[in-house]
A and B are shown apart, each in its own frame.
Chain A
């Protein structure tokens, strides 16, 4: 298991380096000069050259790449804005802030949003899915299935404003969504995020309802599940110990994908509710051709995805002994 983890982490690092290369090349392939954006309307060739120099853009691309990579590991102090400790992604072209600290500023919100929504959609989605599978063919099953169809075809930019209109602006049950750090005020943290969580998890939960239901029904038809019944195990025991165990594999696969995209930044949700998370940061960095920030957000999201993949694979091994040995 340790060797497996070690191999996977090493592989992920290689992928991250390759991604950085690609992002670098793409950025310089773009017919757009970030220095021009900073230079303003009264730009002279001298001023432009000056900006190029301060940004390090006058060096060759491989040289810039090497400086960037080594900065990640050792930190840099060749910036006009001041020293940049490791992991150094440089300073944003646009805000002149350190990229890493900007990322770390935005991360708690994204983390809170993802964690809260995940708890809710797993609980609700899997719960209703299991209940639908248990009561297969009954009214409960049919209404859950129909409901999840409707909800999973909803979009955040539709449900979100709707929830805001009803719950905030009309009835004033909740305040407008706002982020307060958990460590500052847990109650405010909770009430500020409750609507985004609800909306985000409504859409995700519906998917999980359908998936849990269908994979449970599939598992319940497995022969080994019938064997378990044939040896006298109770319906509930067979359902939770035998069928559920097998259903976990597809659920965890999808959960890994969903989690990694949520942690990389729920762009639409953050825009809908005006929350400044990693998703918004990503969009802003693209808008301003802010290479250091863009690289930072992208590498961070990629690292999260790779990490989720490793965790999912480790879960497979935990659930299914056949994976463990090979």
Chain B
């Protein structure tokens, strides 16, 4: 069972554009206090086999976006507008049983805390075997063997025996490995990793990241990697999208976004990241203010109440007009390209060390 299970010769729509394409996505929740606009006009594309890093503070809409891709939001309280196209297939209007066939099969997800994300009541092997049985119709025995094989692949020693263990008998890092095995058991085309290393020790973190990269090479899955840790993303992603208050505010290749960021918020993120090689006495520079309420988001540019560069734009554009993200290398900010370049080189970069 080392061959990967997938319909043989599945058509690859190379001309249909991106593998996953999100267009003008709006997700809002109805709450007692009013409508929470968790995702507000988000668009992005992801190509097969590539890794997209999504960065942002808590509440920026990263996780909601990805739960919406899988249809895991509560439809009763959630309104979804816009398009999510997976290989040209619209997911926002797909029926539940169609999504069920997709979940864990074509699109799989890894969650942040592997202790709470694995069921305490069933063995690790069974939890890995379940989606395999469901999606491939394999027998119980074959699915169990596959689960053992997957546990071996993610580097769990003695997988035959460990498959019979329950999650609480695994260490944190091992649980996340088991979670990854579960996500990859049906060889998905898209893997959504929602802060997969946040709950882990730093040393274990590095192992898990390496594992994910190795497995991506082997399985050829595209990955959406959600994190708030820029250090992790530099290591993992081909492209980066920075999210703020439900929208993308900067997008580009990893190199571009980290070497020459163009949005004041991204500058703030970089500035607030501690570095070992910088002057230890120099204080970290957090972004002033708090993330905005999504019940009642700020007018114009969502970032303007916290932005220290507003006066460089002049006038009331920042408070009145919402800056848009241009199709490719871009940031949603009213500063001119020239201003962004000079501000970053002259004012931001020196303090990054």
Q: Tell me the A residues contacting B by CB distance below 8 Å.
A: 137, 222-235, 242, 245-246, 319-322, 325
Contact = CB atoms under 8 A, between A and B. Distances in A.
B120 A233 contact: no
Contact of A231 (B116, B120, B121, B131): B131
B64 to A, nearest CB: 13
Given A230-B104, A242-B119, A322 B168 contact: yes
Interface residues of B, number: 31
Interface of B: 70, 72, 76, 96-97, 100-105, 108-109, 111, 113, 116-121, 130-131, 134-135, 166, 168-169, 179, 182-183
Given A227-B111, A322-B168, A233 B118 contact: no
Contact of A229 (B76, B103, B113): B103
Interface of A is mostly: helix
11 contacts: A224-B120, A227-B179, A228-B130, A230-B72, A230-B103, A232-B134, A233-B131, A235-B100, A242-B119, A242-B121, A325-B169
Given A227-B111, A245-B121, A233 B134 contact: yes
Contacts of B108: 230-231
Contacts of B72: 226, 229-230
- Ordered nearest first, which 5 A-B pairs have the shortest CB separation? A231-B104, A232-B104, A232-B103, A231-B131, A224-B119
B182 A231 contact: yes
A158 to B, nearest CB: 37
B134 A227 contact: no
- Most chain-B CB neighbours within 10 Å: which of A228, A229, A230, A325? A230
Contacts of B116: 222-224
Contacts of B113: 223
B96 A235 contact: yes
A246 B111 contact: no
A227 B120 contact: no
B166 A321 contact: yes
Interface centre among A246, A319, A322, A325 (most CB of B within 10 A): A322
B131 A223 contact: no
B130 A227 contact: no
Specify which of B109, B120, B166 lies most central, judged by the most chain A CB atoms within 10 Å of its CB. B120
B70 A320 contact: no
Contacts of B100: 232-235
Contacts of B120: 224, 246, 320-322
Nearest to A230: B109
B121 A321 contact: yes
